[in-house]
Amino acid sequence: MIRVVHYINQFFGQIGGEDMAGIGPRIEYKPVGPGIALKEAFKGKAEIIATVICGDNYFMENMEKAVDEIIELIRPLNPDLLVAGPAFNAGRYGPACGALCKAVGDRLKISSVTGMYPENPGVELFHRDVYCVETGPSAAGMRKAVADMARLGMKLALGEELGPPFQEGYLPKGFRRNVRAEKSGAVRAVDMLLAKIDGRDFRTELPMPEFEKIPPAPALSDLRKSTIALVTEGGIVPKGNPDRLESSRATKYLKYSIEGLNDLSGEYFESVHGGYNNRFANLDPDRVLPLDVLREIEREGEIKEIHKFFFTTTGNGTTIENSRIFGKEIAGYLRRNGIDGVILTST
Amino acid sequence: MRLELRRYKVVNALFGSETKLENGTLYVNKEELVSLLNESGFFERVEVYIAKPGENTRIVNIMDAVQPRWKTDGSSPFPGALGPMRIAGRGETNALDGISILQLGKRGGIQEGFIDMSGPGAEYSFFSGLINIALNFVPFSGVDDHAFDSYTRAALLKASVYLGRTTRDLDPDETEIFSIQSGSPGLPRVAYIYQLQSQELYRDTLVYGRPVRSIMPILLHPNEILDGAIVSSNYIIASQKNPTYFHLNNPVVRELSRRHGRDLIFAGVIAVNEHSTLLEKERSAAFAAKLALQLDVRGVVITQEGGGHADTDLMLNCSECEKMGIKTVIIANESSGPQGDLPPLVDVAPEADAVVSTGNNDELVKLGVMDKVFGCSDNAQDEERWRNMSESFLARIYTSTNQLGWNNLTTLQF
């Protein structure tokens, strides 16, 4: 028999509504609220040994503390599975379910499943870490949600191989894995084209990734009063690459001084970028980081000055997560140091 | 235009005193083959190996692969690339199945790839299931890259004809007829936009022997492709290159030809290049869509070779066609990272709503340790490293995520 702990909030725990959202975690050794339907859905193959109930506000306002407290309630029970929710589209309940599922996996090494409406903020926060069954927006979808969670939860507790999300009913965790199709790619393509021409249903195998659109900053009002910094993803570093910038899939960015330099010579600088032919950049690194012409412009007074440091990384195969972190940190530095504009070169 | 492809099944290959095909066994006179391939004396040596499915062998430094071919009228099966120009796609062509000829060579700028003949790595390359005649071309030191490229390619094509010639007095096991002459008018007209990659030395694709670096889109008859009009000179990331063998047997061309007159009318092939600048890409895509419109088609399949900025060509070809009301399906592989959680392509278009994925290059694959390594005889240390390699990104396994849709590998979002 699979031993299950069920987590629900104060509302589904039948303690109260908003007025009771501040209550701390408590435990009951029986199914409560949606637990009754969950118990039925297990069809005798799993039993709910305890229900943990916590107020949504208590959880969200003291997240670390609440997780610690609930973990300590669950630990001695030694269950095989945690079922959290379903949270439908409830904006505090969803993240609480996600956080708790992740924590029991990380800290107690037990399986877990939750259920949410795709737009619940808990999905965005935790879909990579936890199995989350897709539910409707409200408790009207309780029966189906609980049945799906029970089925998936039992599979997880037994360590059974899971099929893809659209078969198993969970929201994609965002990991694309290689698998075999029945037909070759060419045959699938012709089938898909004929379906598309005829207006029949077809399923793209590669939904377009969504790239964040960054609106360009407004133009500088007066260049003559502006301090300009140089930033590049072109892999320009001091010769010998003393800080070991990666030639692809960079995990860091670096900051180097150009104070007193009028020109980047190939004697002292080089490119370590692995995504283009570096020969021309190494002959004259100004081709990637145009210090020489910028100095001329500075001398002519067209800009106030060039910032004394430049930033560099390698954009080749570098993850979007890392790029986002680099961008935020570099922009933060530039803002703190009164830089008005940036020349950002890419390769 | 009518092409008769006469197919001969090869089930075994052995070195012998006479080169001949007998009861499915191909006998190869090694000395005669080597002296033909090195007539010019350009190479210090040409090594010839036979690698068969199931053997504990890893073939490395693969440049290209070709099928043994023979035209029954004695003309070259690779017009313009080997021998004089003539329009391909007509008459009788003999092809040996179950066997390929591999061109091996080591130069800067050639991306190394490998084929395992057994073990888990063998599940990913079509060539692991073939008998491979592997030709390792070792030049004298100091030779020019252009010369190395043209001598090795010429030798590979000559080897194809030399082995293909063994069929000249034999009846085929199977004959296929290709013709898109007739077709019911009620069926949807469909074309194929065939992206070729031709950018510089070692990054070239040849149509009738000419690199297509600067072409505007051109219209080809499907038979021309199946009969040797396109030859590869492109030595990019191993998983995503289109070897000559695959151009000759292009699975999209074969599938559209097979269904011509039954499910669709195959109106033609629009061959385009993956150019290096945005202006050229835009010009090419707009013109390709215009050719599709002129062919009066309702849909196109689009394929690519390589990745990175070639994704932009895919997206432009797709959106230009869709803007003209022509439906599109794209075939592409992915670079979604080892965990499969990174954006699979570097460019996107909202119109690209029908994409066939041929797998993620970045997935790590376990490999078996091998007894033998072919293609690395000049460096014992490298040879040892290749032999003991126990895992690899799929990107290095030859044609594993081929974007002509050769294999049945795909990805699923978990």
**What pLDDT, in 10s, does the model give residues A28-64?**
999 999 999 999 999 999 999 999 999 999 999 999 9
* Last residue in a domain, options A168, A194, A212: A168
- Same domain for A144 and A236, yes or no, is no
Better pLDDT: B2 or A216? B2
B404 within some domain: no
Question: Using CA atoms, how far apart are residues B91 and B79, in angstroms rounded to an integer?
Answer: 13
Is residue A277 scored above 80 in pLDDT?
Answer: no
Q: Say if B405 falls within a structural domain.
A: no
Chain A: residue nearest B328 by CA? A193
pLDDT level of residue A224 (50, 70, 90 thresholds): very high
Q: Give mean pLDDT in consecutive 10-residue pieces for chain B, a chain of 414 residues.
A: 98 98 98 97 97 98 97 98 98 98 89 93 98 97 93 98 98 97 87 96 95 97 98 94 97 98 97 96 98 98 94 98 98 93 91 98 95 95 96 95 98 94
- Tell me which chain B residues have a C-beta less than 8 angstroms from the C-beta of A184: 251, 405-408
Task: Report yes or no: B198 and B214 within 8 Å, Cβ to Cβ.
Answer: no
Q: How far is A204 from chain B (nearest CA, A)?
A: 5
Judge if A108 and A245 occupy the same domain.
no
Query: Is B367 contained in some domain?
Result: yes
* pLDDT for the residue numbered A247: 85
**Minimal-distance CA residue of chain B relative to A164:** B414
Contact residues, B window 303-322, toward A, CB-based 8 Å cutoff: 303
B 52-81 → A contacts, CB under 8 A: none
Beta strand B230-234 with B203-207 is antiparallel
Structure tokens at A260: 């007193």
Residues in chain A: 347
Q: Which of residues 17-36 of B touch A (CB under 8 A)?
A: none
Q: Domain for residue B198, yes or no?
A: yes
Domain extent at residue A271: 223-345
Q: Are A12 and A138 in the same domain?
A: yes
Per-residue pLDDT, averaged over A158-179, amounts to 93
Looking up tokens 């044609």 gives B399
Looking at the structure, do residues A40 and A118 belong to the same domain, yes or no?
yes
Q: Residue A200: inside a domain, yes or no?
A: no
Say if A174 falls within a structural domain: no
What is the mean pLDDT of the segment spanning A3-31? Answer: 96
Same domain, A76 and A144: yes
Number of domains comprising chain A: 2
In a domain, B89, yes or no: yes
- Residue B45, domain extent: 3-396
What rounded mean pLDDT belongs to chain A?
A: 94
Can you give the pLDDT at residue B110?
81
B290 shares contact with chain A (CB less than 8 Å): no
**CB contacts, 8 Å: B340 with chain A:** 175-177
Q: Do A208 and B300 touch (CB under 8 A)?
A: no
User: Number of folded domains in chain B?
Assistant: 1
Tell me: the pLDDT tens digits for A171-184?
A: 999 999 999 999 99
The pLDDT value recorded for residue B200 is 87
* Stretch 156-195 of chain A: residues touching chain B, C-beta under 8 Å: 162, 164-165, 172-190, 192-194
A285 is a domain residue: yes
pLDDT level of residue A321 (50, 70, 90 thresholds): confident
Distance of CA B387 to the CA centre of its chain: 26
Backbone angles phi, psi at A87, to 5 degrees: -100, -5
Whether A49 and A161 share a structural domain: yes
Residue A59 forms part of a structural domain: yes
| pLDDT at site A212 | 74
The reported pLDDT for the residue numbered B183 is: 72
Residue A210 has pLDDT above 80, yes or no: no
Q: Residue B185: what pLDDT?
A: 81
pLDDT at A244: 94
The one-letter amino acid at B268: G
Spacing of C-alpha B127 from chain mean position: 11
DSSP SS3 for A253: coil
Average confidence (pLDDT) over A278-303: 95
Residues in chain B with CB shorter than 8 Å from the CB of A188 are 356, 405, 410
Identity of the residue in A180, A183, A196 whose CB atom sits nearest the CB atom of B354: A196
pLDDT greater than 90 at residue A310:
yes
Structure-token pair, residue B393:
């990104």
Same domain for A9 and A79, yes or no, is yes
Q: Would residue B412 count as lying in a domain?
A: no
Please give the C-alpha separations between residue A76 and each of A9, A72, A73, in angstroms, as whole numbers. 21, 7, 7
A12 in the same domain as A142: yes
Does the pLDDT value for residue A319 go beyond 80? no
Domain stops at, among A168, A203, A236: A168
Q: How far is A31 from chain B (nearest CA, A)?
A: 31
Q: Please give the pLDDT value at position A274.
A: 79
- Nearest residue of A to residue B346 by CA position? A209
Residue A179 domain flag: no
pLDDT band at A138 (very low <50, low <70, confident <90, very high): very high
Q: Rounded to whole angstroms, how far apart are CA atoms B67 and B97? A: 8
Regarding predicted confidence, which is higher, A6 or A276? A6
CB contact under 8 A, B406 and A179: no
Q: In angstroms, rounded to a whole number, what is the distance separating the alpha carbons of residues A126 and A118?
A: 11
User: Does B348 map to a domain?
Assistant: yes
Share of chain A above pLDDT 70, in %: 100
Amino acid at A257: S
CATH code where residue A147 lies = 3.40.50.2300
Residues 117-136 of A with CB under 8 A from B: 128
Give the contacts of B349 (CB within 8 A, at least 6 positions apart). A208, B315, B316, B318, B319
> Is residue B401 in a domain?
no
pLDDT reported for residue A347: 84
Q: Looking at the structure, tell me whether residues A237 and A315 fall in a common domain.
A: yes
| Interface size, chain A vs chain B, as Cβ–Cβ contacts under 8 Å | 164
